[in-house]
Amino acid sequence: MAFHFADRIKRAPASFLSELFAASNNPSIISFAGGLPSSALIDTEGIAQATRQVMEEDAHIALQYTTTDGYLPLREYIADRYRTRLGLPATAAEIQIVNGSQQCLDLFAKIFLNTGDHVGMERPGYLGAIEAFSLYEPIIDTVPLDDDGPDLAVFERFVKTRNAKFFYGIPNSQNPSGRTYSLEKRRAVADILRTSDTLFYEDDAFGELFFDAKPRMPVTKYLPDQSVISGSFSKIIAPGMRIGWIYAPEDILTPFNVVKQAADLHSNFFCQKILHRYLTTHDLDDHIRHITRVYGRKCRLMCDLLDDQLPQLSHTTPEGGMFLMAILPPGISSRRVFDEGVMQKVAVLPGMPFYVDGGGEETIRLNFSNPEDEMIKTGIERLANVIKGLIRQ
Amino acid sequence: MAFHFADRIKRAPASFLSELFAASNNPSIISFAGGLPSSALIDTEGIAQATRQVMEEDAHIALQYTTTDGYLPLREYIADRYRTRLGLPATAAEIQIVNGSQQCLDLFAKIFLNTGDHVGMERPGYLGAIEAFSLYEPIIDTVPLDDDGPDLAVFERFVKTRNAKFFYGIPNSQNPSGRTYSLEKRRAVADILRTSDTLFYEDDAFGELFFDAKPRMPVTKYLPDQSVISGSFSKIIAPGMRIGWIYAPEDILTPFNVVKQAADLHSNFFCQKILHRYLTTHDLDDHIRHITRVYGRKCRLMCDLLDDQLPQLSHTTPEGGMFLMAILPPGISSRRVFDEGVMQKVAVLPGMPFYVDGGGEETIRLNFSNPEDEMIKTGIERLANVIKGLIRQ
């Protein structure tokens, strides 16, 4: 029979991510297209140890239903880390556990967006956010993201004219661009928003991944009570557990909790317990220093290879995170680089899906966190061949 | 600052479940109010063994990101069980993994419901479904649930006049009533729906929990291509893992997959692997026979105690599942039984939240799966005291 789906489905943008996973699962293709942290840097021994301890001491509780807000000691750990690491006055009551920070995007949109409401985001902007927000049928306005943060003139015009519910941004090592807001821009974004009712949704998936292992002050620091932060253990511990959180004023968490409960009752309790055990029996800062050293080396390797082999191409130079963005030489489209790349066994991510209002054909996103050094070397060689071949055509 | 939430939040019914968890977490209160399976029946040793094996053989993969649809061998296991146990022609391509069957409610509503669309459900109906559906602002029509299934005259009128997107039902040991559709009513429901475009959403959380351990034919059997089934490991293995599934035509799974990806990328991969390992190295049927023997005994114990100590009260007599529903003596309200019960250290669940269009003040839901036998004895004694006290007033 024919199925009569809701309008939001008919309007949803077709997703690229499944195609990507397919390409990145083909072992003969070197993939820079995915968004995976390094599998080799997941501390499987430490997690196995924490898992054994939870199973020995607490299995009947860890495997049972629990409350929607999440495991209190884990929420206390997260709040404590905000206090000590960033000086934010966080309490466990302001932390709600979710299934990775992707679920924040869905639930936050669900509590704020009516059809036709305005929201803002960076251009280019995170694809997962575009997909989550679009299902609530808002009008998405974009603000160009420069090397040091949003274009402030456009941002101010957006804030003053759109009466938007929120602006969504990734100030630290943004996905897809790898760009980081300067301190000046962080303050300016807060100052401009303060004159409005528009919230700042600060996606901080990568804030712990600066190669110098030093924290940057979140925009929330300068805009308390008018912003939320989403965070995730996916990039610093393990994505397969699907544990992230939102740090938000309690008045926001009240309805957030209602929609979280309706969405799936609560997040995986077993993994919340394992994570908490792991975090309280291992040195997280030491683990993160190890990750950032490796990612910093991989990022420099990729940048150097690109500069050396493809001087016709420009690229961002990330201070952290897992991605950089490259601008292709004039006349070369990223779709052709993707198609030709797959033929030559190297996958890149065309930038178009990150441009919700069109454009981006000249951009590609490259992931440097997942492939090993040798893969980066061979993959960039292949990519250089692909692009040089297209230039010659 | 004041937050400007979406209209769906302002209209959402206040949730009872959090209050309940609070009451059921107070160890001095004997709770019949919750919806927990027996903690003692969770096979923690078997799960610990499966977990060790996954960590030893497969940790780097199990802790990494994966695809949205779920772990293929687990989906094959589920499809295979539908084929062998119920004779349904299921394939892995028709199975999508979700975070417990609660997430099906959210995502299914999300792909089908526009504001103002009609959906149908049983009266009384499952609270978690009411909460999930309400956020998409449909008009919810109800059909009285008799001892052997829906009132067919009302059901037929609903189908013929409402042009509803779907009817949501729990034919096996319904939550909250404990009622099970007769075979005749299953066929009749399918026959009536076949004349329409209205889908049947068959929530089968309890289909494996019949005390005689025998399967009942799902409505889907008589209505292929116009129905979906949601299932869950929460009641037969462990709720804390949050792993359930939807079995649906591929044309429905395509948009379902899009909204699942936007909601949280994928379900916990670590637990999908552990579950699959557990299921393929243990005898599930044997485990389920053990659970159903214990639940059958507990249910009979509770029914006998009620008949003996509270002949003024009538109740359903479940063939399976985890709940029964009681009708209070005339003039006694369930809210007063709840309030007075908490004072006397016994918690019951007032039925009103299950009546989306009002009513139900004379009903309470009692859970018999979680409390141990001694707790059932003491708890029903306390409940009898509470109700007799209220009758005397």
pLDDT tens for residues A37-46? 999 999 999 9
Quote the ipTM score.
0.95
Which residue among B9, B261, B268 places its CB closest to the CB of A268? B268
The chain-wide mean pLDDT, for chain A, equals 95
Note whether A36 contacts B66, CB cutoff 8 Å: no
CATH 3.90.1150.10 applies to domain A7-43+285-392: yes
Mean pLDDT computed over A209-237:
96
pTM here?
0.96
Mean pLDDT computed over A16-35:
77
Q: From A62, which residue of chain B is nearest by alpha-carbon distance?
A: B240
pLDDT tens for residues A110-136? 999 999 999 999 999 999 999 999 999
Which chain A residues contact residue B127 at CB under 8 A? none
What confidence tier does B27 reach under pLDDT thresholds 50, 70, 90? confident
Mean pLDDT computed over A190-211:
97
For residue A14, pLDDT beyond 70: no
Which residue among B47, B60, B117 places its CB closest to the CB of A63? B47
pLDDT tens for residues B113-138? 999 999 999 999 999 999 999 999 99
Least confident span in A298-302, B340-344, B379-383: B340-344
pLDDT tens for residues B198-220? 999 999 999 999 999 899 999 99
What confidence tier does A20 reach under pLDDT thresholds 50, 70, 90? low
Which chain A residues contact residue B17 at CB under 8 A? 68, 261
Which pLDDT score, from 0 to 100, does residue B1 have? 79
Contact B164, B119 (CB under 8 A): yes
Question: Among 3.40.50.2300, 1.20.120.1200, 1.10.3660.10, 3.90.1150.10, what is the CATH number of B12-43+285-392?
Answer: 3.90.1150.10
Q: Please write down the HEC assignment for all residues of chain B.
A: CCCCCCHHHHHCCCCCHHHHHHHHHCCCCEECCCCCCCHHHCCHHHHHHHHHHHHHHHHHHHCCCCCCCCCHHHHHHHHHHHHHHHCCCCCHHHEEEECHHHHHHHHHHHHHCCCCCEEEEEECCCHHHHHHHHCCCCEEEEEEEECCEECHHHHHHHHHHHCCCEEEECCCCCCCCCCCCCHHHHHHHHHHHHCCCCEEEEECCCCCCECCCCCCCCHHHHCCCCEEEEEECCCCCCHHHCCEEEECCHHHHHHHHHHHHHHHCCCCHHHHHHHHHHHHHCCHHHHHHHHHHHHHHHHHHHHHHHHHHCCCCEECCCCECCEEEEECCCCCCHHHHHHHHHHCCEECEECHHHCCCCCCCCEEEEECCCCCHHHHHHHHHHHHHHHHHHHHC
What confidence tier does A350 reach under pLDDT thresholds 50, 70, 90? very high
Per-domain residue ranges of chain B: 12-43+285-392, 45-281
> What kind of architecture, by CATH, is found in domain A45-281?
3-Layer(aba) Sandwich (3.40)
Which residue among B131, B239, B267 places its CB closest to the CB of A262? B131
Which chain A residues contact residue B126 at CB under 8 A? none
Least confident span in A3-12, A253-262, A317-326, B172-181: A3-12
Q: From B44, which residue of chain A is nearest by alpha-carbon distance?
A: A59
Note whether B165 contacts A62, CB cutoff 8 Å: no
Which chain A residues contact residue B48 at CB under 8 A? 52, 55-56, 59
pLDDT tens for residues B223-269? 999 999 999 999 999 999 999 999 999 999 999 999 999 999 999 99
Query: Distance (Å) from the C-alpha of residue B278 to the closest C-alpha of chain A?
Result: 14
Which residue among A42, A106, A114 places its CB closest to the CB of B263? A106
pLDDT tens for residues B72-114? 999 999 999 999 999 999 999 999 999 999 999 999 999 999 9
